[in-house]
């Protein structure tokens, strides 16, 4: 069996470097808008989970900025290991109540914007091991006031990343995002989609390198496209009706993350930091 420990360390280093570049770019946008807002970073250590095993290790860093352009943006990186709660282990790929050891490292980002013309966004990539090892992640755009050119540009950047690594990746992972980011009780999609992939398995070092290269390409595509969309829209005038639409949409976003999102449940059930897990929730929302 492959010892995935050094591979987890390499993935962690990449996720941390991606975080640093994203946060620097977002802070640069705040400076362009005349704001001195910066990220505040809070380290945390993983707590033991009820029903898990001894040896829980790791933690992460929660980064949050509240500014003039980014009303609230969180960029988290975590690396944890230990035992999954036995009643939860069976829901995780490659784990069971008898074989519940796991490790996970990843980056998670959610940005809620001050101007309703600027789309909110989510991006997450991760590497997990149980009795199997795999990558997962993706990115999706969530505009309260959609623009076709923004949607087309966002998808185009992700398609380019996909096409360089698998001829069918974009169509498969776009369809998966459309299926996953859907709110059944509302019968609406959460946004205008993107890509979502999971269980991209690594059975040997060569597969790991290929899947890691794709995961890095997804991160680079996000960093290339989203700041362009922010700069395009952040100076637009908006009406009270536009703001009301944004706040209503944020309520839908909160519903999805609290009711359906697998990452939220995974974090809560594996001893993650609650504030880091729930950083995805908007600073303000309404329900009619």
Cα–Cα dist 218/181, whole Å: 18
5-280: CATH topology: oxygen-dependent coproporphyrinogen oxidase (3.40.1500)
Q: If pLDDT is split at 50, 70 and 90, which confidence band does 72 have? A: very high
pLDDT tens digit sequence for 169-189: 999 999 999 999 999 999 999
Query: Tokens 């519903």 identify what position?
Result: 255
- Catalytic site residue 93? no
pLDDT at residue number 269? 83
Q: Among 12, 73, 71, which residue's Cα sits nearest to residue 40? A: 73
| Residue percentage of the chain with pLDDT more than 70 | 96
- Which position among 117, 122, 155, 189 bears the catalytic label? 122
Write out the two tokens for 142: 């969530």
pLDDT at residue number 57? 79
pLDDT tens digit sequence for 107-141: 999 999 999 999 999 999 999 999 999 999 999 99
> DSSP states of 205-257 as a string?
HHHHHHHHHHHHHHHHHHHHHHHHHHHHHTT----HHHHHHHHHHHHHHHHHH
Query: Tokens 């990449």 identify what position?
Result: 14
Residue 1 clears pLDDT 70, i.e. is over it: no
Q: If pLDDT is split at 50, 70 and 90, which confidence band does 49 have? A: low
The dihedral over CA atoms of 151, 153, 155, 161, expressed in degrees to the nearest 10, equals -160
In DSSP terms, which residues pair with 72 in a beta bridge?
A: 112
pLDDT at residue number 46? 79
Residue 155 clears pLDDT 70, i.e. is over it: yes
Cα–Cα dist 118/232, whole Å: 8
pLDDT at residue number 270? 81
Write out the two tokens for 65: 């900025």
Can you tell me whether residue 128 is helix, strand or coil?
strand
pLDDT at residue number 48? 60
pLDDT at residue number 52? 46
Strand 57-65 relative to strand 40-45, pairing = antiparallel
Q: If pLDDT is split at 50, 70 and 90, which confidence band does 86 have? A: confident
């Amino acid at each position: 069996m492959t010892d995935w420990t050094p591979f987890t360390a390499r993935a962690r280093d990449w996720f941390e470097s991606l975080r640093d570049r994203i946060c620097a770019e977002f802070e640069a946008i705040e400076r362009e808008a005349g704001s001195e807002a910066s990220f505040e970073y809070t380290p945390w250590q993983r707590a033991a989970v009820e029903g898990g095993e001894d040896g829980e290790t790791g933690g992460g860093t929660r980064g949050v900025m509240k500014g003039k352009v980014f009303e609230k943006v969180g960029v988290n990186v975590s690396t944890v290991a230990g035992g999954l709660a036995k009643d939860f282990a069976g829901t995780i790929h490659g784990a069971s109540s008898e074989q519940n050891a796991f490790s996970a490292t990843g980056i998670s980002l959610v940005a809620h914007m001050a101007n309703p013309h600027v789309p909110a966004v989510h991006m997450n990539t991760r590497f997990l091991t149980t009795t199997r090892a795999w990558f997962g992640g993706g990115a999706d755009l969530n505009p309260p006031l959609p623009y076709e050119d923004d949607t087309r540009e966002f998808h185009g950047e992700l398609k380019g990343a996909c096409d360089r690594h698998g001829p069918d990746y974009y169509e498969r992972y776009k369809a998966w995002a459309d299926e996953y980011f859907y709110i059944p009780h509302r019968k609406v999609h959460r946004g205008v989609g993107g890509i979502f992939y999971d269980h991209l398995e690594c059975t040997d070092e060569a597969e790991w390198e290929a899947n890691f290269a794709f995961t890095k390409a997804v991160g680079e595509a996000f960093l290339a496209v989203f700041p362009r969309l922010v700069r395009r829209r952040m100076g637009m005038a908006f009406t009270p009706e536009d703001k009301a639409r944004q706040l209503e949409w944020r309520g839908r976003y909160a519903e999805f993350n609290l009711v359906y999102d697998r990452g939220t449940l995974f974090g809560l059930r594996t001893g993650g930091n609650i504030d880091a897990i729930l950083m995805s929730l908007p600073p303000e929302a309404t329900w009619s």
